[in-house]
Amino acid sequence: MSIRLIAVDLDGTLLSSDSATVHERNIRALRRAAEKGAKIVLASGRSMVMMEDAAEQLGCVSYIISSLGGAVTDYATRKMLAETGIDPDKRRAILEVLRPFKPLIEVYCDNRIYAERAIITAHPPASDFDFLRAKYDDVVEDLETAIGERMTEKLDVDFIPDDETMELIRTRVEALGDLCVLAYPGNGNIEISHIDATKGHALQFLCGYLGIDAEEVLALGDSDNDLDMFEWVGCSVAMAKSSPLARQAADMVTGSNNDGGVGQAVEELMDRIGGQ
């Protein structure tokens, strides 16, 4: 069966290690796939506002799955097709858990990122990626005033001082129910989203919307949050430096993100790509 849609993760997959540059080999291969009729979809934990630069480098993106699956957007029209978010009351409860620990809190909402000025000032960017992400923040005086009754796609929590505190936060947030809490020990980072906001669920919705079967989908990724995509699609590809679980789950392993591994895999599968 032909491949009619290609879903590509960003960090560690499409993007080089600078978290910004798309390898030329990836650009050439994905453009060729689009010319043959494949829909190109970016799928990431990032907010869409942080994905647009990669989409512009490619020049052939049709749809974007952002915030770990919290939002599905038609890239040409910027129309959000689906949202699986955290309701306002649950968001407020999460913030009550987080605030005593004084971390950096970024709230993903309507394809943008919101952060409070006082917290941003207390936690200046510490890495190249922090500087990149801060560039896209809508800095507000108060999150509640800025977001109000809108749904939250995801919360990104940084500068958690130690793994013990991280585990305490994770436990308290999970106790609120219906939430997925991804903790990254050693990095001081937690991602919080609705339990059904996954790349796999978002991809299934998009393919249903487009009339594309799972067997007609190629997914490329490198981390554990790509696993449910890998489980659902007809063909899955892990990058050379993927997590052990991603490598184990994938149908094939390609080169590294710095060597244009996405382009390498798409080139190898090009005779299967295309269709109506």
Q: Which residues of the chain have pLDDT under 70?
A: 126-134, 136, 275-276
At how many degrees (to 10) do helices 163-174 and 88-98 cross? 150
CATH number at residue 186: 3.30.1240.10
Shared domain for 106 and 154, answered yes or no, is: yes
pLDDT in tens, 65-102: 999 999 999 999 999 999 999 999 999 999 999 999 99
> Angle at Cα 187 formed by Cα 181 and Cα 192, nearest 5°?
20
Q: What is the mean pLDDT of the chain?
A: 94
CATH number at residue 62: 3.40.50.1000
Shared domain for 46 and 132, answered yes or no, is: no
Q: Which residues lie across from 65 on neighbouring strands? A: 43, 72
Termini Cα distance of the chain: 12
Shared domain for 103 and 149, answered yes or no, is: yes
Shared domain for 245 and 174, answered yes or no, is: no
pLDDT in tens, 25-53: 999 999 999 999 999 999 999 999 999 99
Domain boundary among 154, 176, 194: 194
Predicted pLDDT of residue 129: 61
Shared domain for 97 and 159, answered yes or no, is: yes
30/35 Cα distance (integer angstroms): 9
Shared domain for 11 and 67, answered yes or no, is: yes
Predicted pLDDT of residue 227: 96
Q: Which domain holds residue 95?
A: 88-194
Predicted pLDDT of residue 126: 67
Domain boundary among 161, 194, 227: 194
Shared domain for 77 and 111, answered yes or no, is: no
Contact present, 109 and 103 (Cβ < 8 Å): no
CB atoms < 10 A from the CB of 243, how many? 18
Shared domain for 230 and 201, answered yes or no, is: yes
Shared domain for 162 and 180, answered yes or no, is: yes
